[in-house]
Structure 1
Amino acid sequence: MKRSIAILLTAALAPVFAGAAAAQEIRIARQFSMGYLQFNVMEHEKLLEKHAAALGLKDVKIAWSIFNGPDAMNNALISDSVDIVAGGTPGLVTLWARTKGTANEVKGISALTSQPIYLNTRADHIKTIADLKDSDRVAVPAVKVSLQAVLLQMAAAKLHGQANYGKYDALTVSMSPPDATIALLSGSGEVTSVFSVPPFQQQQLEKPGIRTILNSFDVMDGPSTFTVAWTSARFRDKNPVLYKALIAALKEATEIVDQDRKKAAGYWIEDVKSKLPLDKVTAVISGPQVRWTMAPENTMKFANFMASVGSIKEAPKSWKDMFFPEAHDLNGS
Structure 2
Amino acid sequence: MTPHRHPTPASRSARLRRLATALAGAACLVLTTALPAAAEGTIRIAEQFGLGYLPLQILRDRNLIEQHGKAQGIDVKVEWAQLSGGAAMNDALLSDSIDLAAGGVGPLLTVWDRTKGSANVRAIAALNSLPAFLTTNNPAVRSLKDFTDKDRIALPAVKVSVQARILQIAAEQAFGAGKHDALDRLTVALPHPDATAALLSGASEITGHLSSPPFQYLQLKDPKIHKVFSSYDVLGGPHTANLVWAKESFRTQNPKTYRAFLDALAEAVALIQRNPEAAVDAYRAQNKGDLDRDFVLSLLKDPDIRYTLAPERVEQFASFMHKVGAIRNKPASWKDVFFPDLHGEAGS
Q: Which residue of 2 aligns with 1:83?
A: 99
Aligned counterparts, 1:286-305, within 5 A: 286-305=301-320
Aligned identity (percent) is: 43
* 1:266 is the counterpart of 2:255: no
The AA in structure 2 aligned to 1:145 is V
* 1:27 is the counterpart of 2:44: yes
1:118 equivalent among 133, 136, 149? 133
Cα distance in 1, alignment partners of residues 248 and 327 from structure 2: 20
Q: TM-score, normalised by structure 1?
A: 0.91
Cα distance in 2, alignment partners of residues 238 and 162 from structure 1: 45
User: How many residues align structurally?
Assistant: 310
In structure 2, stretches of 5+ residues that fail to align are 1-38
1:45 equivalent among 29, 51, 62? 62
Contact in 2 for aligned 1:118/1:214 (Cα 8 Å): yes
Contact in 1 for aligned 2:40/2:254 (Cα 8 Å): no
Which SS does the other structure have where 1:329 is aligned? coil
Cα distance in 1, alignment partners of residues 329 and 173 from structure 2: 21
In the TM superposition, what is the alpha-carbon distance from 1:244 to its structure 2 partner? 1.4
Runs (4+) off by over 6 Å: none
Contact in 2 for aligned 1:121/1:213 (Cα 8 Å): yes
Cα distance in 1, alignment partners of residues 166 and 260 from structure 2: 33
Q: Which residue of 2 aligns with 1:62?
A: 78
Contact in 1 for aligned 2:40/2:253 (Cα 8 Å): no
Cα distance in 2, alignment partners of residues 54 and 124 from structure 1: 56
In the TM superposition, what is the alpha-carbon distance from 1:285 to its structure 2 partner? 2.2
Q: Which residue of 1 aligns with 2:340?
A: 325
In the TM superposition, what is the alpha-carbon distance from 1:161 to its structure 2 partner? 1.9
In the TM superposition, what is the alpha-carbon distance from 1:23 to its structure 2 partner? 8.0
Cα distance in 1, alignment partners of residues 272 and 340 from structure 2: 24
Q: Which residue of 2 aligns with 1:92?
A: 108
Which SS does the other structure have where 1:162 is aligned? coil
Cα distance in 1, alignment partners of residues 58 and 90 from structure 2: 23
Contact in 1 for aligned 2:41/2:254 (Cα 8 Å): no
In the TM superposition, what is the alpha-carbon distance from 1:203 to its structure 2 partner? 0.9
Which SS does the other structure have where 1:86 is aligned? strand
2:239 equivalent among 224, 231, 235? 224
In the TM superposition, what is the alpha-carbon distance from 1:224 to its structure 2 partner? 0.1
Contact in 1 for aligned 2:40/2:257 (Cα 8 Å): no
Query: After superposition, what is the alpha-carbon deviation per residue over 1:88-141, rounded to whole angstroms, capped at 9, x for unaligned?
Result: 111110000000111x11000010110101000111110011111111110111
Q: Which residue of 1 aligns with 2:162?
A: 147
Which SS does the other structure have where 2:259 is aligned? helix
Q: TM-score, normalised by structure 2?
A: 0.87
Cα distance in 2, alignment partners of residues 287 and 274 from structure 1: 21
Cα distance in 2, alignment partners of residues 244 and 178 from structure 1: 33
Which SS does the other structure have where 1:164 is aligned? coil
Cα distance in 2, alignment partners of residues 24 and 181 from structure 1: 38
Cα distance in 2, alignment partners of residues 117 and 303 from structure 1: 18
Which SS does the other structure have where 1:139 is aligned? strand
Cα distance in 1, alignment partners of residues 248 and 328 from structure 2: 21
The AA in structure 1 aligned to 2:51 is M
* 1:284 is the counterpart of 2:296: no
Cα distance in 2, alignment partners of residues 183 and 36 from structure 1: 22
The AA in structure 2 aligned to 1:43 is R
The AA in structure 2 aligned to 1:72 is A
The CA RMSD over aligned residues, in Å, is 1.1
Cα distance in 2, alignment partners of residues 182 and 248 from structure 1: 36
Q: Which residue of 2 aligns with 1:106?
A: 121
Query: After superposition, what is the alpha-carbon deviation per residue over 1:11-70, rounded to whole angstroms, capped at 9, x for unaligned?
Result: xxxxxxxxxxx9822000111111111111111221111111111112x11011111100
The AA in structure 1 aligned to 2:298 is A
Contact in 2 for aligned 1:44/1:267 (Cα 8 Å): yes
